[in-house]
Each structure stands twice: as structure tokens, then as C-alpha cells.
Amino acid sequence: MNAQNDLMAILSCFGYGYTVSVVINGVSTSIKGGKSESMRLFDQDNAMAKGASPEMKKLFILKPGANRIQIEFKKEGGANDKLTLSLELEGYPAPVNTSVILQKAVPQKFKPVFISDEGENRSTFIHVSTMDVTVTPILNGVKGMTLAGMPGSIPLEGQKPDKNELVVTYKADPSSTKELRFAVITPEGAQFITKKIIDPSEKEERFSFNAK
């Protein structure tokens, strides 16, 4: 496989209060839970894999087409602890599913799926794809984690049955960042947002969705 078609992904786990095991295509990853963790993964045919040490070879486990991801977890913390896992493929607008077809071009019917201890497609989160922006979500008045400078996902607290109100605030320096790209994933589906950065002042976008 040539470099232009190489696959690269970031596996992330926010697992305070949990022990976690993630196995991809039969290979155990270093994700253990109990903290915030992330690791880069590459495809099996990547040129760098040939010279990698046995431990580093565990990073070269992706493959074009079907990939199998097995997740086991056990809650050991308090009632407010939550587990979130995501697999972010380079070039995709949001994390992918736990049983994924990986290809360099984003599929036309791509649908992100977020896995948490609440079940598939029941949580709400935003995923930021842009560098050098500061983004803060506020769900039903509950301020979420601020993501600054780096792409990533933010799980949201405060979801309730029926109607929910989400505000996403953002700001960036237009001299270095021309646009913001982020995805809002709710139980109703996904929205992919692109906003032009024209000045450094803080802006906001508002969303409404229903949850069971």
C-alpha cells in the first residue's frame, strides 16, 4: 500500500472509574481505563511496520475493508463516572463505529456512532476536526469540557428526556484559522458544521434535539 492510501486513526478512551479492554482485529491495544487515554493506529501494510519493534507493531493493526473491534469494560467507580470510546479516522468528520469499513475516502453515507456506557446512539457529543480553535459546548445549561488547540471529541453531560438545547461557543484567530469544522452527534443523528472564521471574537451556534 502506498503512503497516499495509508490509513491512520486515533483511538481514545475517557474511562475514569472503569477498567477497559479494546481488541482490534484480534490485537489487544494498550487501552486499560481508569484515565484519559489515546493512541495512534496505522494500517498493517504501512511501510513503517517493517522496522517496528514487537511492541510498536501492535499499532499497525488496521486494514482496508472490515475491521473488528471488541470492547469489554467494568465499572468500578462512582455513579457519576462515565465511559466514552471513539475511533477517529484521518479525514473523517467524526468518530466511526465499533464495526467499521475503513477506506481512505469518506463514504457518502457515513454515519458516526458513539459508544458509551449508556448504549449506542443514546449519548450526545461534539467532534471538532479543526486545529487552533477553542470550543465549549453547553447542554441544557451544563457547561462541558473546553477543547482548545487540538481536534477531539467532547462527551456532553446534562442530557434529558424530550427536548434538549445545545449551545456551542467557539473562537479562533482568523490569521491562522480560516474555518471551523465540527460535528454534532445526538440521538437524532449527526450534523456536520463548517463556519468561516472572520474575526477573533467568540461566536455561538445553537441546536435543539429530542432524546428518549
The tens digit of pLDDT for each residue in 38-62 reads 899 999 888 888 888 988 989 999 9
Same structural domain, 104 and 178:
no
Determine the average pLDDT of the residues in 146-153. Answer: 86
Q: What is the pLDDT of residue 4?
A: 53
Structural domain that includes position 157: 124-212
Instruction: Evaluate if residue 26 carries a pLDDT over 60.
Output: yes
Confidence at residue 81, expressed as pLDDT on a 0 to 100 scale = 80
Contacts of 209 (CB under 8 A, 6+ apart): 124, 163, 164, 166, 186, 187, 188
Residue 115 confidence class, pLDDT cut points 50, 70, 90: low
Q: Is the pLDDT of residue 96 over 80?
A: no
Integer Cα distance of 61 and 11 in angstroms: 12
Query: Residue 29 forms beta bridges with which residues?
Result: none
Which of 122, 147, 173 marks a domain boundary? 122
* Same domain membership, residue 27 and residue 74: yes
pLDDT value at 191 more than 80:
yes
Give pLDDT, residue 2: 42
Same domain, residue pair 80 and 180: no
Share of the chain above pLDDT 90, in %: 34
Tell me which of 122, 141, 165 is where a domain ends. 122
Same domain flag for 175 and 208: yes
pLDDT averaged over the chain?
A: 83
* pLDDT confidence of residue 188: 87
Between CA 40 and CA 46, with CA 43 as vertex, the angle to 5 degrees is: 105
Instruction: Please give the Cα distance from 160 to 119 (Å, whole number).
Output: 15
pLDDT recorded at residue 100: 43
What is this structure's pTM?
0.58
The total of other beta-carbon atoms located within 10 Å of residue 106's CB is 12
Please enumerate in sequence order all residues whose Cβ is within 8 A of that of 108, keeping only pairs 6 or more positions apart, or say none.
none
Cell of 65: 475493508
Number of domains in the chain: 2
Instruction: Give dist(CA 197, CA 202) in Å, integer.
Output: 10
Which residue matches cell numbers 503512503? 3
Q: Smallest Cα–Cα separation from 30: which of 64, 52, 61?
A: 61
The candidate with the shortest Cα–Cα distance to 44, out of 26, 28, 57, is 57
- Mean pLDDT to the nearest integer, 93-115: 54
Phi, psi for residue 22 in degrees, rounded to 5: -125, 125
Shared domain for 105 and 168, answered yes or no, is: no
